[in-house]
A and B are shown apart, each in its own frame.
Chain A
């Protein structure tokens, strides 16, 4: 109340110097307060820029749909189940073999990569001392940093000759009667693509599953050990406790395998056919055909068909990534929540 009266006096008698100064300070404070509304401006600015992620994703869907309009109108659902890809004469495009190629090579990659990744995750979080674990985590992370095109280069000149002479030919000599291992052995092909993809997804899966294992509360391990369990039996409990995180990690790895382009393009042989005759035969994937033919597509419908392949890839990747993130987020929250209790 007192201040209020003083302020009124100030307005009435500006000739009083003390009150005038007081008044000035009050005014400066008011301006400062207004200025601190800069906070709201700053928040708004960062919020708008951070929200541009929605704009990017929305524009992406819009642009890819518009870009593949020609092909969608022409082929409709036939595009997804068609098995012919003939840009030269009949101009018919069907992507089923590509979708199968992508799914099968990714599945091979998971079959090879998941057991190895889980082994790595356990070795790093359960079986080894911390210092050792740190050094190897570092190396595994480096594996993830190697660019895809380098994997392709290494695949062509090192891996393919090695696999052909030391793995595929002996395999064929032993199991050649089995259709999967019959046919010509080029060195490249479906199995090689699967192996390269497995190498590329191992860092992703092993790093996330290691984190999921490390997040399991120690009480679980102590309980198992006090019951006389061996290290492996303890590790089994840890794995089942962290299973959602592991599943999320595997789906994330799948997402990476499905979108992988250059390395696969360089080793799979790029042959458009519904099904390969054997594991050693050449095949094609969605991303590989985009990389190979996009800059050479000579007419609008052709480009449009390739963009529709990209759109299909977009939706497959979107579903896989959304699923994986939901699972990983939930599991880490769950595990951390319990650990805190």
Chain B
């Protein structure tokens, strides 16, 4: 065996290792999707979608209250987080010559990598201490989690709008702020919408910050200063429970959540495919 054969063998084995790594990493994805579909589908029926959580020992029950709670919490969080994120993104993209934009972008990136449970504790000390475990506290924590994602994607989407478009608007005598809102932002609306949807998908799957700011709750929505049920915490509480019908509900909730989140991700990424080419 000469030197050349050895090199060729190493080359081949390393390439096989790289492809193997890819396959090994994707096994959990396929396993999760197939398990959730398989075990979740059997517990989805009309009761599942219309009934609230069962109490201990009660048969049947559903996740309707949790779906309601997740929609309300995520909706309220988006109402706070999306406008702030888009405005911050506008600043970073359009006024990138301002000195302060560098540290803003930096700490924005830092915040996006932060443990969500720490953000949850922040929501607890700031809001729960004042008004108690509530939708508002949870929405506040989720808004902080989505803020850096929306900011980042808005900035990137707006930077993709060519400078000639801005110059054309300014040459027509349109003030800069109107140029930004009517021309640049509307030109980047697809990218901005992508970022918003991905951020919504991200916070819809958060559980740790909700646990700290709202706790597990089994009842229907009763006001913004009250807690409400939630899909992710349903999964957590039902999964570690000893009751079989609860565990079945956990898989059912997982199916709803995975369809929601992966659905958003697949649609968004398929729609913006040309960006990557």
The stretch from B11-19, B44-52, B57-65 touching chain A is B11-19
Q: Which residues of A contact B14 (CB under 8 A)?
A: 232, 235
Within 8 A of B (CB), among A33-61: 35-36, 38-39, 41-43, 45-47, 49-54, 56-57, 59-60
Q: Which of A38, A146, A232 contacts B11 (CB 8 A)?
A: A232
Give CA–CA (A115, B20) in the complex, Å.
Answer: 11
Residue from the list A39, A148, A307, A321 in contact with B177, Cβ < 8 A: A39
Asked if A167 CB lies within 8 Å of chain B CBs, one says: no
Query: Does B111 lie at the interface of the complex (its beta carbon under 8 Å from any beta carbon of A)?
Result: yes
Closest residue to A199 on the B side, CB-wise?
B28
Known: A136-B22, A138-B269, A310-B118. A262 touches B208 (CB 8 A): yes
Q: Closest CB-CB distance, A187 to chain B, in whole Å?
A: 14
Determine whether the beta carbon of A325 is less than 8 Å from that of B211: no
A150 touches B212 (CB 8 A): no
Task: Decide: A149 and B236 in contact? CB cutoff 8 A.
Answer: yes
Q: Which of chain B's residues have a CB closer than 8 A to the CB of A39?
A: 175-177
Known pairs A35-B175, A42-B177, A252-B113; A116 contacts B21 (CB<8 A) = yes
Bound together, the chains give a CA A122 to CA B113 distance in angstroms of 24
The total of interchain contacts (Cβ-Cβ below 8 angstroms) comes to 271
CB <8 Å contact, A148 and B125: no
Q: Quick check: A261 and B205 within 8 Å, CB to CB?
A: no
Residues of A within 8 A of B (CB-CB), count: 92
- Please measure, in the bound complex, the distance between the C-alpha atom of A287 and the C-alpha atom of B114, giving whole angstroms: 12
- Within 8 Å of chain A (Cβ to Cβ): is B167? no
Chain A interface main SS type: helix
- B171 within 8 Å of A by Cβ? no
A176 part of interface (Cβ distance < 8 Å): no
Q: Is B104 an interface residue (CB 8 A)?
A: yes
Contact across chains for A67 and B95 when beta carbons are under 8 A apart: no
Q: B18 touching A134 by the CB < 8 A rule?
A: no
Query: B residues within 8 A CB of A50?
Result: 87-88, 91-92, 100-101, 104, 151
Closest 4 CB pairs of A and B: A259-B115, A147-B205, A119-B21, A42-B177
**New A-B pairs, 7, CB < 8 Å, besides A140-B26, A146-B32:** A38-B177, A119-B20, A120-B22, A158-B31, A159-B28, A231-B15, A291-B208
